[in-house]
Amino acid sequence: MKSITRTVWILSLVSLFTDTASEMLYPVMPLYLKSIGFSIVLIGILEGLAEATAGLSKGYFGKLSDHTGRRMPFVQWGYALSALSKPLMAFFIFPAWVFFARTIDRFGKGLRTGARDAVLSDEATPTTKGKVFGFHRSMDTLGAVIGPLVALLYLQFHPGNYKTLFLIAFAPGVLAVVFAMLLKDKNKKNISGTKKITFFSFLHYWKSSPLVYKKLVIGLLAFTLFNSSDVFLLLKAKQAGLSDSQVITVYIFYNLVYAVFALPIGILADKIGLKRIFLGGLLLFSIVYFGMVFLQAKYLFFGLFFLYGVYAASTEGISKAWISNITSKQDTATAIGTYSGFQSICTLLASSLAGLLWFEFGAKTTFLVSASAVVLVIIYIAFIPFQKFQLSACN
């Protein structure tokens, strides 16, 4: 574990605490919003606005981080805003205030993402990127196991008392901020000059980025368009006859598998290639979605969610490691931020498309279309020439 530096450990713990806080609220957020008078339409608008805020800001702040040569202020303020948003949700129930609090949370995610991933990239060598990103994803996803378990335990004794849960979630959020404050920029370089960075400046990077980056991101975004919210998988499990508690259990099980496999898969990716692991992950995704079409036995859903956890461990961190290996070091935050920004927008479109297909043609058609489309994405990415790493990425 020599390649897991102090900085990687601290960032991973920060992500663990933050995800614990966020995932503690994920299962109850729709229930809480409905309890204070939000309609389904208003909940959809709220989540759409929040995700759009995160998506658009990722590219801008990634570009700004590269432009200023600073990382930690973006990381620290990003986690601080997300922590602050938790108790804000419990103080007032006015729709405008709830919108503000939820947007603050997502804005914090947009603020930190590019800079944080650039720090992880800087802490690794081109031959240990899979391990470092995999370790971070493992710790981050462990929070997605702990959070829902805490929520379930609390609601067993205090059913319907959602406001207090928001206040409880503030505690791990504060721990995340405390740990983040331990980090300092190692090389403070102000390279901003006189050039002004506008909100959409990161879009110019697309024009100047390496061709292999463009090809890869096009493939990743094509996949994202058919990778709708996990809520649809949970709805299908519920439709197949799983009880509410079983649905939550299978979601926790998926995150546990993800957390357990992220590091060993990252290590394996460094040995046999990031591209091979990523393509294997996409293949598992397609198998799971085809399984949602043809399998109906309730116990088989745990097998599908096991494969889905392995898929997630094979793609999320691996894709960022791959991007950081084919772009120059001084553009890492911009490259990852630009991709993450476009990814957020595509995710919104994916869920809208899935919802429309489900409404018009049913669940089977929804999963069949996604599974088939991802097979085509696999073929496309398979033909992208894999460059282990460019010289500029190693400097």
pLDDT at 390: 44
Instruction: Please check the confidence at residue 173 and state whether its pLDDT lies above 80.
Output: yes
pLDDT digits (tens, 9 = 90+) for 211-222: 999 999 999 999
What's the average model confidence in pLDDT over 41-58?
70
What's the average model confidence in pLDDT over 16-40?
78
pLDDT tier at 285 (50, 70, 90 boundaries)? very high
Rg (CA), the chain: 20
pLDDT tier at 16 (50, 70, 90 boundaries)? very high
pLDDT tier at 394 (50, 70, 90 boundaries)? very low
pLDDT at 375: 96
Rounding to the nearest 10 degrees, give the CA dihedral for residues 299, 30, 48, 236. Answer: 20
Give the residue from 137, 31, 134, 143 showing the smallest Cα distance to 89: 31
More confident residue, 207 or 312: 312
More confident residue, 325 or 239: 325
pLDDT at 62: 87
What's the average model confidence in pLDDT over 366-377?
94
Spell out the domains of the chain, with CATH numbers in brackets: 6-183+203-389 (1.20.1250.20)
What is the phi/psi pair of residue 61, to 5°?
Answer: -70, -30
pLDDT at 389: 46
DSSP assignment letter at 94? -
pLDDT tier at 256 (50, 70, 90 boundaries)? very high
Least confident interval from 85-89, 129-133, 167-171: 85-89
Instruction: Please check the confidence at residue 89 and state whether its pLDDT lies above 50.
Output: yes
**% of the chain surpassing 70 pLDDT:** 89
pLDDT at 18: 94
What's the average model confidence in pLDDT over 89-118?
83
pLDDT at 352: 79
What's the average model confidence in pLDDT over 77-82?
93
Cα–chain center distance at 236? 22
pLDDT at 199: 67
Instruction: Please check the confidence at residue 126 and state whether its pLDDT lies above 70.
Output: yes
pLDDT at 91: 77
Across the chain, mean pLDDT equals: 85
Instruction: Please check the confidence at residue 102 and state whether its pLDDT lies above 70.
Output: yes
- Cβ proximity of 42 and 95 under 8 Å: yes
pLDDT at 282: 96
Q: Which range has highest mean pLDDT (19-28, 32-41, 90-99, 195-204)?
A: 19-28
pLDDT tier at 392 (50, 70, 90 boundaries)? very low
Instruction: Please check the confidence at residue 391 and state whether its pLDDT lies above 70.
Output: no
pLDDT tier at 393 (50, 70, 90 boundaries)? very low
Angle between helices 40-68 and 72-91 (to 10 degrees): 160
What's the average model confidence in pLDDT over 380-388?
78
pLDDT digits (tens, 9 = 90+) for 136-169: 999 999 998 999 888 888 888 888 787 888 889 9
pLDDT at 27: 67
More confident residue, 292 or 46: 292
Instruction: Please check the confidence at residue 395 and state whether its pLDDT lies above 70.
Output: no
Least confident interval from 39-48, 171-180, 238-247, 340-349: 39-48
